[in-house]
Chain A
Amino acid sequence: METTMIKNVRAAEKKPSYFFREVSAIWAIFCREVSVALKSPGTLAMSLAMPLVMMGMIGGNLTQNMAGGLGFDFGLFMLIGMMVNMLFMVTSQGISTLVDDHEANFSEEMLIAPVSRYSIVIGKIFGSMFCAIISMMGTLLVGAMMGIIPTFGQFLAVLALSPLVCLSAGALAMLFIGIIKNRKVANMAVMLITMPQMFLSGAIIPIGNSTGILWLISRIMPMTYSLDLVRVVVYAGTPEYDSIVMFNPAVSVAATVAITVVCLIVGTFFYARSEKNR
């Protein structure tokens, strides 16, 4: 028995390349997150229930009371905003499970592996994207029940940009979550990251006419740029483009990428540091 076992262990013993190991780690962490989500009916139910509250109640109320005189279809404007908001919100919540991993000592399993901390964080972000996409689909479903239905092309445009949006959201969340070691604080941090963005980045309320401090805040919100980028693609070639899209697409791309890269580097640095420097 042991001889066969040792043979098998020998067969498995190999030196994987640097690149393969990193990709394998990102993929494994992604699969783990998906697997954990699928085994948790509560998580999936919440992913679907959140759109009911966000899109159904908040969105429905705004559509009924604010939609007039804007010069464009407020329903679609808000649906796209809510879809991006859901990606942001649920990805941030997914990143906060790093705190659970820390509390359960599972983070040790990942941190002791010979892989980059960036791979761990990126795998976690992409894994969180799974529930985020479910929430986005839920938003789409609630929107359809409210009679707001985007074209298939518009839906595909949002779907295609969702990895970038989630990466941006996850990187931003890492700035805060990476240094938090307590579940309650992590939940509060998620609220602090996501709620202001929902109202100040133009997800459900147009911010084209914001001035003063609100103008400033809206311009430093990372979601402002990723959301605008999504609207660039969704509204391309439509008459509403100029009244809805705020920035030149190049500005939105540059801002989204720059914010994502900076937040990812700083957030991962602090995450690794907080685990090690005690």
Chain B
Amino acid sequence: MSKVIEVNSLIKKYNGAKSPSVDGVSFSVEKGEFFAFLGPNGAGKTTTISILTTTLSKTSGEVKIAGLDVEKDARKVREHIGIISQRPSLDTSLTAEENIRFHAALYGLYGYRPSFKLMPKVYREQVVQLAEIVGISDALFKPIKKLSGGMQRKLEIIRSLIHTPDVLFLDEPTQGLDAVSRRMLWDYINEVRNTYGTTIFLTTHYIDEAEHVDKVCVINHGQIAFCATPDEMKRQIAYDPTPRVCLPSLEDAYVEFLNRDKEVA
């Protein structure tokens, strides 16, 4: 498998900050891999994603997506990526469908037409079916202002996938969603991933969501604390030697690593 994301010695120091938010981070993600980038609040996850998605400049280091430099070839990089960011990026004056239509036109998939009915049939069918899958059919033509946070999240997921990106960045995508919605969304994301081989780059505080990923990197205080498969990570932690039915969960391992890191610091 080829590397679709390559990060080498990445440093990001915000203007006026005393210390870097991301301090010499290196990791890589293989094409089609499901990658989890975990860490506590303020660890540098969103900063790293912002640099990877070309919306934030780096201080130093090398970052490549699909072999393209995120600074020199930013525009080409953006052709390969999609993102569901921590903060919703919807236009609250428009309806849910208008937000999707705007996105599709912005990516050049379809020319923007003034009403849904005037859009090509393939677009209309696609939007209606995606809305059914994520359960927002009733809300499709309602203004964003009238949708719950969960509904808005689902809409963002439809929107980010409509241009079928090679790499999908999910920055805490299920924050604020109920358990049923979370499961529904993961089923859908897995379906897209299996069909297209989409690389998923996930950050989340729900560690169970990362249980079945291919690789986990834990970032803490701007530095990589550990990078391995979930099983390898679990094997690294000290646990009670009394017989247990199963290995500790990934969440156990995650908390253990953070605690160890804190002790070292």
Contacts and interface: CB of A to CB of B under 8 A. Distances in A.
Interface of A: 1-2, 4-6, 8-9, 11-14, 16-17, 20-21, 24-25, 27-29, 31-32, 35-36, 39-40, 104-106, 108-116, 275-278
Interface stretch (B31-39, B89-97, B175-183, B235-243): B89-97
Contacts of A11: 122, 126
Contacts of A112: 53-55, 78, 81, 83
Contacts of B15: 277-278
Contact of A32 (B89, B102, B126): B102
Contact of A110 (B75, B106, B129, B192): B106
Listed residue (A21, A35, A40, A111) with the most chain B CB atoms within 10 angstroms of its CB: A35
Given A105-B87, A277-B15, A25 B93 contact: no
A278 B108 CA distance: 29
Given A24-B111, A36-B93, A278-B14, A109 B55 contact: no
B78 A8 contact: no
Contact of B55 (A6, A20, A111): A111
The bracket for how many chain B residues form the interface is 35 or more
A275 B56 CA distance: 7
Given A1-B132, A2-B191, A110-B106, A105 B89 contact: yes
B228 interface: no
Contacts of B26: none
15 contacts: A2-B191, A5-B126, A6-B191, A9-B192, A12-B162, A13-B163, A27-B111, A31-B102, A35-B94, A35-B98, A112-B55, A113-B106, A114-B79, A115-B75, A276-B56
A27 B105 CA distance: 8
Contact of A8 (B75, B89, B93, B129): B129
B138 interface: no
A229 B92 CA distance: 39
B137 to A, nearest CB: 12
B112 interface: yes
B116 interface: no
B133 A5 contact: yes
Contact of A9 (B83, B106, B126): B126
B88 interface: yes
